[in-house]
A and B are shown apart, each in its own frame.
Chain A
Amino acid sequence: MLDCTPKELIERTGGMINPAKTCQPIGAMYAALGIHNCMPHSHGSQGCCAYHRSHLTRHFREPVMATTSSFTEGASVFGGGGNLKTAIKNVFAIYNPDVMAVHTTCLSETIGDDVPTIIKSAEVPEGKLVIHANTPSYQGSHITGFSNMVKGMVTYLARATAEDKKEQVNIIPGFVNPGDMREIKRLADSMGIKFIMFPDTSGVLDSPMTGKFHMFPAGGARVDDIRDAGNSKLTLALGYYASSDAAHLLERNCQVPAVTLKTPIGIKATDELLMLLRGKFVREIPYELEEERGQLVDVMTDCHHHFYGKKVAIFGDPDIIIGLTEFVLSLGMRPVHVLTGTPGATLGGPKGILEKEIKAMLAASGLEGRVKAAGDLFELHQWIKNEPVDLLMGNTYGKYIARAEDIPFVRVGFPVMDRSTHPYMPIVGYRGALRLVEMISSALLDRQDRDAADEDLELVM
Chain B
Amino acid sequence: MAISEKMLDEILNKYPAKVKRNRKKHILVKDLGQDQQEIEANTRTIPGVITNRGCAFAGCKGVVLGPLKDMVHIVHGPIGCAYYSWLTRRNKAKTDDPKKNFLAYCVSTDMQESDIVFGGEKKLARMIDEVVEVFKPNAITISATCPVGLIGDDIQGVARAARDKHGLNITAYNCEGYKGVSQSAGHHIANNNLMEHIIGQGDLEEPPGRYTINILGEYNIGGDSWEVERVLSEIGYEIQVVMTGNGSYEKLKNAHVAQLNLVQCHRSINYIADMLETRYGTPWLKVNFIGIRGISESLRNMARYFGDEALIQRTEEVIERELAEIEPQLEPYRKICAGKTAFCFVGGSRGHHYQGLYEELGITTVLAGYEFAHRDDYEGREVLPHVKTDADSKNIPDLHVTPDERRYRLKIPVERMDELKKEIPLSNYNGMIEEMMEGSIVVDDLNHYETEEFIRILKPDIFSSGIKDKYIPQKMGIPTKQLHNYDYSGPYAGFRGAVNFARDVAMGFATPTWNFIEPPWKSKPLLEGTIEPCSTNKCAEEVGA
Contacts and interface: CB of A to CB of B under 8 A. Distances in A.
Interface in A213-230: 213-215
A139 interface: yes
Contacts of B116: 106, 110, 136, 138
Interface string A61-75: 111111111111111
Contacts of A14: 109, 123-131
B54 A74 contact: no
Interface string A44-57: 11111011111101
Contacts, number: 264
Contacts of B134: 4, 6, 10, 17
B110 A19 contact: yes
Interface in A90-110: 90-91, 93-95, 105-107, 110
Interface string B56-81: 11100000000000000000011111
Nearest to A88: B48
A51 B102 contact: no
A84 interface: yes
Interface stretch (B330-338, B349-357, B470-478): B470-478
A106 B48 contact: no
Contacts of B98: 3-4
Given A50-B55, A138-B112, A90 B146 contact: no
Nearest to B186: A47
B146 A211 contact: no
A383 to B, nearest CB: 15
Contact of A73 (B19, B130, B178, B452): B178
Interface stretch (B82-90, B229-237, B412-420, B534-542): B82-90
A68 B104 CA distance: 30
B404 interface: no
Interface stretch (B39-47, B243-251, B265-273): B39-47
B452 A46 contact: no
Interface in B448-469: 448-449, 452, 466-469
Contacts of A138: 78, 111-113, 115-116, 147
B277 to A, nearest CB: 30
Contact of B48 (A15, A48, A94): A94
B43 to A, nearest CB: 10
A63 B472 contact: yes
Interface in A349-364: none
A90 B49 contact: yes
Point out which of A51, A90, A209 has the most chain B C-beta atoms below 10 A from its C-beta: A51
Contacts of A207: 475
Contact of A139 (B113, B130, B131, B145): B113
Interface size class for chain B?
35 or more
B52 interface: yes
A233 interface: no
B49 A3 contact: no
A1 interface: yes
Contact of A62 (B52, B131, B146, B471): B471
A120 interface: no
A63 B467 CA distance: 9
A68 B51 contact: yes
Contact of A23 (B15, B80, B471): B80
A427 to B, nearest CB: 23
A436 interface: no
A84 B48 CA distance: 8
Given A15-B108, A211-B518, A94 B54 contact: no
Contacts of B145: 106
A51 B81 contact: yes
Nearest to A80: B47
A15 B113 contact: no
A340 interface: no
B47 A68 contact: yes
A450 interface: no
Given A90-B16, A209-B475, A70 B44 contact: yes
B150 interface: yes
Contact of B47 (A64, A86, A111): A86
A210 B475 CA distance: 7
A70 B56 contact: no
Which 6 pairs between the two chains have the least Cβ-Cβ distance?
A47-B55, A14-B127, A23-B80, A87-B48, A90-B48, A45-B177
11 contacts: A14-B125, A45-B146, A45-B178, A47-B58, A50-B55, A50-B468, A57-B470, A58-B88, A62-B471, A106-B145, A213-B472
Interface of A: 1-4, 6, 10, 12-19, 21-23, 25-26, 41, 44-48, 50-55, 57-58, 61-76, 83-84, 86-91, 93-95, 105-107, 110-111, 136-139, 141, 207, 209-215, 341, 378, 397, 400
